[in-house]
Amino acid sequence: MLQHPDSALVVRPATLFDLPAIDLIQRLCYQPVFHEPVETFAARLRLSPGSSWVAEAGGQVLGYFFTHPWTGEAPPPLGKTLEHLPQHQDTHFLHDLAVHPHARGRGVAPRLIEAALHWGKQRGLKFTRLVAVAGAAPFWRKWGFKPVAAAPAYGDDAALMALSAENQAITTRP
Ligand SMILES: CC(C)(COP(=O)(O)OP(=O)(O)OC[C@H]1O[C@@H](n2cnc3c(N)ncnc32)[C@H](O)[C@@H]1OP(=O)(O)O)[C@@H](O)C(=O)NCCC(=O)NCCS
């Protein structure tokens, strides 16, 4: 059973200790075709410590958001372990946001997104990009992201979406 709804929500950087909870949430949230090996999450934490977060309440992880610096429009390959990050980095790539099905609609996603957008802004990355999968594009539109291309490697209905730094400045919480 998930924690009492009144428990305070805390957003903090993800660590390797969170990976079992993260793996469980991804399995509850995505079709098997999108399940990534835990090692791919671990590699992202190693390559870019501090740019991925979990939200927890009462010591229970309710959601996670993995992001990392990247370059250009082409997204990183799905399900593959990243060996290194590009040298020239102009993009904050938002890799994976997921909230436990029993914890949705309680402000978990907005808190994770705000932490991530703040990090990207502090880092001075010019673009914020993501691939909306499984019909999530309308969710991201509310945060100011606009579709810029198809992303067939992530699925037939996947869309590459972008938010420029200028737009981010005026993006308000939906
Ligand atoms: C997307 C997700 C993180 C949102 O979490 P949440 O806690 O429901 O987020 P919020 O409460 O901030 O937002 C909920 C709003 O977004 C809408 N929404 C959520 N997922 C959506 C989707 N896939 N498509 C369209 N709208 C969506 C809800 O209907 C709700 O709308 P409302 O505010 O008008 O009622 C969560 O639904 C999830 O984990 N989904 C599965 C994983 C996923 O698809 N991640 C994104 C992949 S790019």
Return the domain boundaries, the chain: 9-167
Report the amino acid identity of residue 154. Answer: Y
Q: What does each C-alpha distance from 90 to 5, 13, 85, 167 come to in angstroms? A: 39, 22, 12, 16
3-state helix, strand, coil in the chain (%, to 5): 35, 30, 40
Reference 75, options 117, 130, 26, 140; nearest CA is 130
From 2, 28, 61, 104, mutation site for ligand 1 pocket: most ligand atoms within 8 A of C-beta: 104
The set of protein residues with a Cβ atom below 6 angstroms from ligand 1 is: 29, 97-99, 104-105, 108-110, 132-136, 138-139
Strands (E), 104-152: 127-132, 146-150
Q: How far is the CA of 139 from the centre of ligand 1 (A)?
A: 6
pLDDT(1) > 60: no
Could you report the per-residue pLDDT of 44-95, keeping only the tens digit for each?
Answer: 999 999 999 999 999 999 999 999 999 999 999 888 899 999 999 999 999 9
pTM above threshold 0.85: yes
The label of the residue with tokens 């428990």 reads 7
Burial degree of 42 (CB within 10 A; 0-12, 13-18, 19+): middle
Residue nearest to atom 14 of ligand 1 (CA): 105
Q: How far is the CA of 171 from the centre of ligand 1 (A)?
A: 17
β-pairing, 52-57 vs 9-13, is antiparallel
Could you report the per-residue pLDDT of 13-55, keeping only the tens digit for each?
Answer: 999 999 999 999 999 999 999 999 999 999 999 999 999 999 9
Could you report the per-residue pLDDT of 118-171, keeping only the tens digit for each?
Answer: 999 999 999 999 999 989 999 999 999 999 999 998 988 999 999 966 666 555
As a whole number, mean pLDDT of residues 2-15 equals 82
Pick the CATH number of 9-167 from 3.40.50.720, 3.40.50.12780, 3.20.20.70, 3.40.630.30: 3.40.630.30
Q: Which atom of ligand 1 is nearest to the CA of 132?
A: 48
Q: How far is the CA of 131 from the centre of ligand 1 (A)?
A: 14
Cβ atoms < 10 Å from Cβ of 155: 18
At 8, is the pLDDT very low, low, confident or very high (cuts 50, 70, 90)?
very high
Q: What does each C-alpha distance from 108 to 33, 46, 53, 82, 100 come to in angstroms? A: 25, 24, 11, 27, 9
